[in-house]
Amino acid sequence: MTNIPNSGVPQTESFFDKVGGHATFDALVHRFYVGVAADPPLRALYPEQDLGPAADRLRMFLEQYFGGPKTYSEQRGHPRLRLRHGPYAVTPTQRDRWLHHMLGALDSLHLDPEDDEAMRDYLTRAASFMVNSFDE
- Domain segments of the chain: what residues? 15-130
SS3 for 94? helix
pLDDT of residue 27: 98
Mean pLDDT of all residues belonging to the chain:
84
CATH tag for 15-130 (out of 3.30.750.210, 3.40.50.300, 1.10.510.10, 1.10.490.10): 1.10.490.10
pLDDT in tens, 39-53: 998 888 887 788 888
pLDDT in tens, 30-87: 999 999 999 998 888 887 788 888 899 999 999 999 999 998 877 666 655 554 555 5
At 2, give phi and psi (nearest 5°). Answer: -125, 160
SS3 for 36? helix
Q: What is the pTM of this model?
A: 0.82
| 136 Cβ contact list (under 8 Å, min separation 6) | 91, 93
Q: Would you call 70 exposed, middle or buried from its count of C-beta atoms within 10 A (0-12, 13-18, 19+)?
A: exposed
